[in-house]
Chains A and B, each alone.
Chain A
Amino acid sequence: MAGDTVPEAPRAPTIIPVLVILALGIVLPFLLSSGFHLRLAMLVWIYAILCMGFNLLYGYSGQISLGSPAFYAIGGYAFAMLQTMLGMGPVSAFVGSLLLVAVLSLLIGLPLLRLRTHYLAMATLAFMLVQNGVANRWINFTGGQSGVAVPPLEWGGEPIGRMGIYFVILALAAAVFILHDFLIRSHLGRAMQAIRDDETAAQALGVKVTRMKLAVLVLSAVMAAIAGVCFGITSLRVDPSLSEFHVLVSLLTIVVVGGLGTRFGPILGSIIVVLLPQLLHEFGELETVVYGLFILLFLLFLPHGLSGLLERRDWRLRRTGKKPAPAVARDLKEELP
């Protein structure tokens, strides 16, 4: 037999690895020497937030929705514009932008989630293109190519420094990460995977498939919006590049490299996708080629991504804490009280 473990591992037994990763995130900025490195670290978290939402939607629930970059952009724009146009404070603008994206994704999800596989992918891709078109062309409202400025975050009248911004982003990433992890390890993650593998069977077992898909779509959109807000507070500007094609490509690369439908895939994938280009600078003109080759090697040799390497599924038997009973049928009266 090809090994007695299942290849991917969602509901692992403890939250400890999550806390370890977050602890590393807290220590990290004190180890980094330059502002540039700190900015890369923030970018890793921002992409991780974006991709965790996508992971829940596509990796776990099997819904190939490509709308994430649009919600990412709308989150960033709404956060900026609620402040500059309506004079909201940053906290209410943050809440407002998440609410806006939640409502929008609900309205889009209601008709679109009836579509399956590549139809859903096409429809959500179209949504992304429309959003990007609006951001580019409705210049009076969105600022066109140059986008909108995001007011810097302040604390006691002073702008928050880079370090402070890092910890704001880390806090938001931690919230998303813990929620992502909770969902994956709970009965809800199990139901999401059931929907991904066989909707009809899931429904027959009492899973409210439509409602669950909608809930995950809204949640992933809100996570994308949180990432958009984070991008806004680090870059102090949001522009149409947030929902350009390369963001979608990064997103897909991250989940594939990290491991689709795995617990730590989005974070590991984000680290690779943000750092790899930096390491490949010395290849000069060949950089893109080497990058492409690298991704190809990942696909060939690590079909379950980096996370697939770390997460083994043999914990399942250990977790039950029982010695497996011998393979004979026991009396029903004992078993079904």
Chain B
Amino acid sequence: MTATDPLLRLDNVTRRFGGLVAVNDISFQIHSGEVKGLIGPNGAGKSTTFDLVTGVRPPSSGEVYFRGQRVTRQPAHTRSPMGMARTFQIVRLFSGLSVLENVQLGLHPKFPDGIVRSLLRLGSLSGQERASRERAMDLLAFVGLADRAGHAIDQLTLGQLRLVDIARALAADPVLLMLDEPAAGLNDAETDNLGEMLVRLRKQGLSMLLVEHDIDFIMKACDSIVVMDHGVKIADGTPAEVARNPDVIAAYFGRRAVHAAA
């Protein structure tokens, strides 16, 4: 990987579900340190694009490169050790584990792999477990939930669950953080809090791919924006460029205006 290579590159990625083309020939890049927005009306194919990038499902065609390596058909578990972390649109925390343990799971790839290797490194395991607990506590403090560490998942509000999900994604020290509608279901105060947190992460140089419905939120948070509609990329540029793009206004803002009018 050379210095000019993008961190993430999608080359003509397509995904079909039966007759439906959920993602249609999408290409874009994310450079190191860049915060990219991915927007589009409901059903545009944003979450499916997430799944293709993170290996949850393979694309029907096209290629995905991460840090100069082709990862198109690599299984999903290879992403975290490479530095890619994600959250899900519908929060997917582990309900049988405490908040702290959920975040600790983000550190799983740092532990010895498998039963035999773990037994061979028995001596260092308890120290590693303690370190992972401390790191998870720090991350919970970062998202403002340190006092919820020992709680069960079902004792948290949706806003708190989203923050735990983000803390868990941050645990493995990712270079690319992918958030799928992190502000969905949050109240204004929680959304502001999240926005500030993303600003702080951005200042740290963390690259991000951000799916969000809230246009104001995305315009403020992103360096550049990809707009999708019906699986197709209809715009790619700075927030200002995208906001001026007539296709975007028609496909996205236009439709919203129609909704608002109705």
Contact = CB atoms under 8 A, between A and B. Distances in A.
Contacts, number: 169
Contact of B142 (A11, A202, A206, A332): A332
A211 B132 CA distance: 23
Contacts of B197: 329
A329 B144 contact: yes
Interface stretch (B9-17, B26-34, B91-99, B211-219): B91-99
A320 B56 contact: no
Interface string A322-337: 1011111111110110
B143 interface: yes
B93 A193 contact: no
Nearest to B116: A215
A333 B201 CA distance: 9
A198 B77 contact: no
Contacts of A324: 146-147, 149
B77 A209 contact: yes
A183 interface: yes
Given A205-B168, A206-B109, A187 B94 contact: no
A327 B30 CA distance: 33
Contacts of B146: 324-327
Interface string A196-235: 1110111111111101100100010000000000000000
B108 A187 contact: yes
B118 interface: yes
Given A188-B118, A203-B76, A193 B94 contact: yes
B150 A4 contact: yes
Nearest to B86: A204
A327 B137 CA distance: 12
Contacts of A146: none
Nearest to A187: B111
B198 to A, nearest CB: 11
A51 interface: no
Contact of B147 (A183, A211, A326): A326
B115 A320 contact: no
B141 A325 contact: yes
A205 B97 contact: no
Given A201-B94, A322-B137, A206 B149 contact: no
Contact of B115 (A6, A188, A198, A336): A188
A154 interface: no
A327 B108 contact: no
Interface residues of B, number: 68
A190 B107 CA distance: 11
B78 to A, nearest CB: 8
A335 B107 CA distance: 15
B152 A327 contact: no
B77 A206 contact: yes
B218 to A, nearest CB: 21
5 contacts: A200-B76, A319-B133, A320-B100, A324-B149, A336-B138
**Which 3 pairs, one residue from A and one from B, show the smallest C-beta to C-beta distance?**
A206-B80, A206-B109, A325-B146
Interface of B: 54-56, 75-81, 85-86, 88, 92-98, 100-101, 104-109, 111, 113-115, 118-119, 122, 125, 128-129, 132-134, 137-139, 141-152, 155, 168, 170, 172-173, 193, 196-197, 200-201, 203-204
Given A219-B115, A326-B146, A336-B170, 20 more contacts: A183-B115, A186-B129, A187-B118, A187-B129, A193-B96, A193-B97, A194-B108, A201-B92, A203-B55, A204-B76, A204-B88, A207-B77, A207-B108, A316-B149, A319-B133, A324-B146, A325-B147, A327-B146, A328-B144, A332-B142
